[in-house]
Amino acid sequence: MTSPTDLKYTESHEWIRKDDDDVLVIGITAHAAESLSDLVFLDLPEAGDSVTAGEGFGEIESVKAVSDLKSPVDGEVVAVNDALPDNLGAINSDPYGEGWMIKVRATSSIENLMDSEAYDKSVADA
């Protein structure tokens, strides 16, 4: 599986896209969505909430397991994909598009995160 090359990635399978200078769009990768399989529940923060790098910003539940969604950066949530909880299929069908989860105004860098090549390698090695 090849992940989009214009995104950054975490070890915990979140993707990050730079929307404009400060705002980052965050979702989970196709690999994560496929591993979770059928999704049944999603808990996202609200706009205005703060997030911390490495700590949970929400929870996602599938028929297999409940997983934390981990924030790749420190910052403030500026937008949430409100359509998602009622349309969890979008995370499976279009993880990098309609499946986006939150937008964050970051106060920390994303330079240390993985590029697509490194992420794909880490998934293949697992």
- Chain CA centroid to CA 35, Å: 14
52 binds other proteins (CB under 8 A): no
Residues 2 and 72: their CA atoms lie apart, in Å, by: 21
Return the number of the residue (68 or 82) whose C-beta is nearest other proteins. Answer: 68
The kind and range of the H/E element at 57 are strand 56-62
From 6, 59, 66, 121, residue interacting with other proteins (rule: CB under 8 A): 66
Alpha helices in 54-115 (DSSP H): 89-93
Residue 115 lies near other proteins (rule: CB under 8 A): no
| Binding residue for other proteins, selected from 35, 92, 116, 122, defined by CB under 8 A | 35
Q: Does 59 bind other proteins (CB under 8 A)?
A: no
Closest approach, Cβ 32 to other proteins, in A, equals 11
Buried/exposed 21-33: b ≥16 CB within 10 Å, e otherwise: eeebbbbbbbbbb
Identify the residue among 52, 59, 64, 107 touching other proteins (CB under 8 A): 64
In contact, 40 and 64? CB cutoff 8 Å: no
| Residues making contact with other proteins (CB under 8 A) | 35, 37-41, 61, 63-67, 126
